[in-house]
Amino acid sequence: MPQLALVVTTLVWGATFPATKAVLEQLPPFSFLVLRFLLGTVLVLGVLLALGRRLRLDRNMLRMSAIASAFLFLGYTTQTVGLRYTTASNSAFITALYVIFVPLFLRRFGLRIWVSAGLALAGLWFLVNPTVSLNQGDLLNLACAAAFGAHIACLERYTRRGDTVSLFVWQLVIVTAVMIPGMIVESPQPARFAPTALLLVTLTITGVLATGAFAVQMWVQQVVPAQRVALIFSLEPVFAAWLAWYFLGEHLDPTGWLGSGLILIAVLLGTTGQAVTKVTEPVGSPQIG
Look at residue 284 and tell me if it is in a domain. no
Q: Is 35 inside any structural domain? A: yes
pLDDT at position 192: 93
pLDDT score for 127: 74
Work out whether the CA dihedral 97, 160, 175, 172 comes out positive or negative. positive
Domain that holds residue 250: 2-270
Quick check: is 288 in a domain?
Answer: no
pLDDT along the chain (289 residues), means of 10: 79 84 92 96 95 91 95 93 83 82 82 81 75 74 93 91 91 96 93 94 95 92 81 75 75 80 81 50 40
> Is 280 inside any structural domain?
no
Distance CA 75, CA 144 (A): 4
Q: Which residues contact 248 (CB under 8 A, 6 or more apart)?
A: 18, 21, 22, 88
* Cα–Cα distance, 34 to 82 (Å, whole number): 17
Question: How far apart (Å, rounded) are the C-alpha atoms in residues 265 and 121?
Answer: 12
What is the reported pLDDT for 271? 62
Separation CA 40–CA 179 (nearest Å): 14
Q: How far apart are CA 61 and CA 54, in angstroms?
A: 14
pLDDT at residue 102, rounded to an integer:
87
Q: What is the model's pLDDT at position 191? A: 92
Find out whether 47 and 211 touch, Cβ atoms under 8 Å.
no
The number of domains in the chain is: 1
User: Residue 276 falls within a domain, yes or no?
Assistant: no
Indicate whether 185 belongs to any domain: yes
For residues 108 and 273, the answer to whether their CB atoms sit within 8 Å is yes
Residue 281 in domain: no
**Confidence (pLDDT) at 117:** 79
The confidence score (pLDDT) of residue 134 equals 63
Separation of alpha carbons 222 and 160, rounded Å = 5
Residue 145 covered by a domain: yes
Give pLDDT, residue 247: 76
